[in-house]
C-alpha cells in the first residue's frame, strides 16, 4: 500500500474521528520509522513458481519454504528505535513508558534466538521477557515492540514470495492464517471489484503485511460457513466498519467495507478505527482468535 493512500487515510480519520487522533499520530510515526528501517532488509530470493504453488497446495507457508534472513544488528537497532518511539508517543501508563525507555530489550536478542523467531514468535517473546526480567514490561507490550520491529524486514520478502505465486487463486489457501508467515489475520477488507455482487474479502497479515483472498461468509478463525452462526457487529452510523463474529468459536475479525467508507481502505489504518468495535466484541465475551473448535464443523 502506498504511503499516499496511508497518509490520506490518516488525515481523513484525524478529521472525522478526533477521539482517535493520538493513536493515529503514534502509528503514523511508527509506520514512517518502519519504512526507513525497511531499507536495511536483507535481499530475498523467492522459490520458483512451481515450488511456491506446491507449498501452498500442501498448506505450507512461503517463509517455511524459503526463510528470510533478519540481520541481527539492524533488527536490534529497529527494536531500540521503536521502543523509544512507543515510550514517547503511544500514550502508555508512565511506568511502562519509563521501562521501555530504560530497559535494553534489544540487547537481550541474540543471533540464536533471532534465528528461531519466525518459527515461534511466542517462544521468542517469552525468552526475551525472561532475559529482561522487568515486571513493568509485560509480554503483550514486548510482543508489540518485537513484532513491529520485525515487520520492516519481512515486507519485501513477503511481497517477493507472493509475486512468485503468480496467478494463484488465494481462496484455495482457505485459511485465516497468513500464507506467507503463518500469523493469524488481523483484519479484512471487502473490496467491491465490480464483477461480483457485494465484493470480495481480503484478509491482512499484521506481521508481513500480505493480503490474501478469503471467502466472505466464513469464519476466519474456525472456518465455520453456516450463515446463521456468523454475524456482523457494527454501529448503524458507520456501516463501513464491522466486526465479523462467530457463534461457533466465539472469535471475531474486524472487517472494513470499502464501498461504505469514502477513501481507499488501508488495513493498518482501518484497524485503529475499529479498535472501539473490538472493545464491544470483547465485552460480549468474544476473543480475536476464538476458542479451539473441531474443524469438522465446516
Ligand atoms: Zn504474514
Ligand atoms: Zn469461528
Tell me whether residue 288 is in a domain: yes
| Domain end residue (candidates: 145, 164, 183) | 164
Ligand 2: distance of its center to the CA of 220 in Å? 7
Ligand 1: distance of its center to the CA of 76 in Å? 21
Tell me the pLDDT of the chain averaged across its residues.
94
Is the same domain home to 27 and 97? yes
Is the same domain home to 141 and 232? no
Q: How many domains does the chain have?
A: 2
Tell me whether residue 238 is in a domain: yes
Tell me whether residue 73 is in a domain: yes
Ligand 2: distance of its center to the CA of 208 in Å? 23
Question: For a pLDDT cut of 90, what percent of the chain falls above it?
Answer: 92
Ligand 1: distance of its center to the CA of 181 in Å? 4
Is the same domain home to 257 and 156? no
Is the same domain home to 216 and 244? yes
Tell me whether residue 3 is in a domain: no
Is the same domain home to 182 and 198? yes
**249 pLDDT above the threshold of 50:** yes
Is the same domain home to 120 and 205? no
**Of the candidates 283, 190, 200, 285, the residue with the CA atom closest to the CA atom of residue 242:** 190
Q: Considering every ligand atom shown, identify the ligand nearest to the alpha carbon of residue 185 and give its number.
A: 1
Ligand 2: distance of its center to the CA of 167 in Å? 28
Tell me whether residue 7 is in a domain: no
Task: Give the per-residue pLDDT at 296.
Answer: 46
Ligand 2: distance of its center to the CA of 296 in Å? 12
Q: Which of 82-91, 213-222, 248-257, 287-296 has the lowest mean pLDDT?
A: 287-296
Confidence of residue 198 (pLDDT cuts 50, 70, 90): confident
- Kindly report, residue by residue over 258-291, the tens digit of the pLDDT: 999 989 999 999 999 999 999 999 999 999 999 9
Tell me whether residue 256 is in a domain: yes
Task: Give the per-residue pLDDT at 297.
Answer: 40
| Domain end residue (candidates: 164, 196, 227) | 164
Ligand 1: distance of its center to the CA of 95 in Å? 32
Find residue 231's DSSP bridge partners: 245
Ligand 1: distance of its center to the CA of 210 in Å? 5
Ligand 1: distance of its center to the CA of 98 in Å? 31
Ligand 1: distance of its center to the CA of 207 in Å? 5
Confidence of residue 199 (pLDDT cuts 50, 70, 90): confident
Tell me whether residue 69 is in a domain: yes
194 versus 181: the higher-pLDDT residue is 181
Domain with 221, as residue range(s), is: 170-297
Q: Considering every ligand atom shown, identify the ligand nearest to the alpha carbon of residue 221 and give its number.
A: 2
CATH code (residue 240): 3.90.1670.10
Is the same domain home to 180 and 131? no
- Kindly report, residue by residue over 58-110, the tens digit of the pLDDT: 999 999 999 999 999 999 999 999 999 999 999 999 999 999 999 999 999 99
Is the same domain home to 26 and 146? yes
Is the same domain home to 33 and 146? yes
Is the same domain home to 201 and 80? no
Ligand 1: distance of its center to the CA of 94 in Å? 32
296 versus 239: the higher-pLDDT residue is 239
Is the same domain home to 151 and 188? no
Task: Give the per-residue pLDDT at 193.
Answer: 74
Tell me whether residue 6 is in a domain: no
| Domain end residue (candidates: 125, 149, 164) | 164
293 versus 92: the higher-pLDDT residue is 92
* Alpha carbon distance 208, 227 (integer Å): 31
Q: Considering every ligand atom shown, identify the ligand nearest to the alpha carbon of residue 292 and give its number.
A: 2
Is the same domain home to 41 and 144? yes
Q: Considering every ligand atom shown, identify the ligand nearest to the alpha carbon of residue 247 and give its number.
A: 2
- pTM strictly above 0.75: yes
Q: Considering every ligand atom shown, identify the ligand nearest to the alpha carbon of residue 293 and give its number.
A: 2
**37 pLDDT above the threshold of 60:** yes
Amino acid at each position: 500500500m502506498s504511503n499516499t493512500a496511508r497518509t490520506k487515510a490518516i488525515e481523513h480519520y484525524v478529521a472525522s474521528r478526533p477521539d482517535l487522533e493520538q493513536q493515529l499520530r503514534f502509528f503514523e510515526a511508527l509506520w514512517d520509522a518502519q519504512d526507513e528501517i525497511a531499507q536495511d532488509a536483507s535481499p530475498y530470493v523467492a522459490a520458483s513458481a512451481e515450488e511456491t504453488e506446491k507449498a501452498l497446495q500442501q498448506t505450507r507457508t512461503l517463509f517455511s519454504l524459503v526463510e528470510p534472513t533478519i540481520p541481527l544488528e539492524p533488527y536490534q537497532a529497529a527494536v531500540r528505535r521503536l521502543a523509544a518511539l512507543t515510550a514517547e508517543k503511544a500514550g502508555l501508563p508512565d511506568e511502562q513508558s519509563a521501562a521501555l525507555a530504560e530497559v535494553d530489550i534489544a540487547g537481550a536478542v541474540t543471533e540464536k534466538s533471532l534465528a528461531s523467531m519466525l518459527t515461534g514468535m511466542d517462544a521468542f517473546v517469552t525468552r526475551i521477557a525472561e532475559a529482561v526480567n522487568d515486571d513493568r514490561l509485560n509480554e503483550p507490550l514486548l510482543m508489540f515492540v518485537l513484532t513491529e520491529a520485525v515487520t520492516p524486514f519481512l515486507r519485501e520478502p513477503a511481497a517477493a514470495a507472493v509475486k512468485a505465486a503468480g496467478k494463484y487463486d488465494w481462496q484455495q489457501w482457505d485459511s485465516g492464517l497468513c500464507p506467507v508467515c503463518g500469523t493469524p489475520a488481523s483484519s479484512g477488507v471487502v473490496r467491491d471489484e465490480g464483477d461480483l455482487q457485494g465484493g470480495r474479502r481480503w484478509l491482512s497479515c499484521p506481521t508481513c503485511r500480505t493480503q490474501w483472498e478469503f471467502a466472505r461468509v466464513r469464519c476466519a478463525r474456525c472456518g465455520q460457513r453456516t450463515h446463521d452462526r456468523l454475524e456482523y457487529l457494527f454501529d448503524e452510523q458507520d456501516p463501513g466498519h464491522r466486526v465479523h463474529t462467530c457463534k461457533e468459536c466465539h472469535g471475531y475479525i474486524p472487517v472494513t467495507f470499502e464501498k461504505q467508507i469514502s477513501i481507499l481502505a488501508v488495513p493498518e489504518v482501518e484497524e485503529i478505527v475499529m479498535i472501539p468495535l473490538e472493545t464491544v466484541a470483547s465485552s460480549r465475551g468474544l476473543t480475536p482468535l476464538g476458542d479451539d473448535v473441531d474443524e469438522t464443523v465446516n
